[in-house]
Amino acid sequence: MDFDTLLSRLPLTSVQPPPLVTVVRLTGVIGRVGGLQRGLSLAALSDILDTAFKPKRLSAVALAINSPGGSPVQSSLIAGRIRQLSDEKKVPVLAFVEDVAASGGYWLATAADEIYADESSIIGSIGVITAGFGFPQLLDRIGVERRVHAQGARKAMLDPFRPEQPGDVARLSALQAELHQGFKAIVRHRRGDKLKGGDDLLFEGDVWTGRGAFDLGLIDGIGDLRSVLRRRFGDKVKMRVVGERRSWWRRRLGLGLGRQWAAEAMAAVEDRALWARFGL
């Protein structure tokens, strides 16, 4: 018997590789990019998302979300790219909320086919907010004259150094209403019949714990990333974290350089205020 004949009669055994799930961490305020405060944006995440969906034998992509929100534009762009890649590659997406997925953070979660959270996670804040300060009396008190020259009746809308104008407030309210309608449409489209409750309950900016969000259909279950993936794909599932590499000096120093420090300090204060809204 020749070697080829002998080889053909040997029993064939195939070793299947373990299921692979890539993990993308979406942590931080949405929309701020630069220096110390590296927020979430499509520009910063584009390559990471492409890499996450790249493996040939891919069981799912998991999103580990911890965000208090931020830019509605970047929320829409990031969520849209995730959906495009999921549909193109025919790979399901699972979202796992850690401390918080509020406002834009929840928008990101809706990009997933299923959403999970801890019982104590904070979820929701489906609304639109604009916050700032007004200093109309400060300049008079310190003897400084404010000079603004503009073309266009609303070019200086909501200038913090002049009294608030009713027309400006009305215009801002209209813009917020338009953004709010878009946010609500996304949630309705992605969650569909799973939602339990009317608009006056779900879409007035309220937040819930993971258990409350589950009862309202905003999430699909209670659980953490590792436990759910092992239950879904087996104990041998391989979880590969895909992320951005930071330069060595940023890892060591964690600091912005040069003239950026003042802007970074202000950004840090603003970002901290967003997290503080949810007790974090």
pLDDT score of 258 more than 50: no
List Cβ neighbours of 97 (8 Å cut-off, separation of 6 or more): 65, 66, 105, 109, 115, 116, 117, 118, 121, 123, 210, 219
Instruction: Choose the weakest-confidence range: 22-31, 179-188, 228-237.
Output: 179-188
Higher pLDDT, 148 or 278: 148
**DSSP string covering 125-167:** --S--------TTHHHHHT-------SSTTTTTT-TTSPPPHH
Q: What percent of the chain has pLDDT over 70?
A: 78
pLDDT score of 1 more than 80: no
C-alpha–C-alpha distance, residues 41 and 59, integer Å: 25
Instruction: Choose the weakest-confidence range: 81-90, 153-162, 269-278.
Output: 269-278
pLDDT score of 108: 97
Note the CATH number of domain 19-125+206-276: 3.90.226.10
Q: What phi, psi does 209 have (nearest 5°)?
A: -75, 170
Instruction: Choose the weakest-confidence range: 30-44, 85-99, 227-241.
Output: 30-44
Amino acid letter for position 219: I
Residue showing tokens 């404010």: 146
Read off the pLDDT of residues 163-205 as tens digits, 9 standing for 90 and up. Answer: 777 877 788 778 878 888 889 899 999 999 999 988 899 988 8
pLDDT score of 144: 77
What is the mean predicted confidence (pLDDT) over 224-251? 82
Instruction: Name the region of 70 (left: φ>0; alpha: ψ -120 to 50; beta: rest).
Output: left
- pTM passes above 0.95: no
Residue ranges matching CATH 3.90.226.10 in the chain: 19-125+206-276
List Cβ neighbours of 241 (8 Å cut-off, separation of 6 or more): 22, 23, 24, 25
Residues 218 and 124 sit within 8 Å (Cβ to Cβ): yes
pLDDT score of 280 more than 90: no
Q: What phi, psi does 257 have (nearest 5°)?
A: -115, 160
Residue 18 DSSP label = P
Amino acid letter for position 208: W
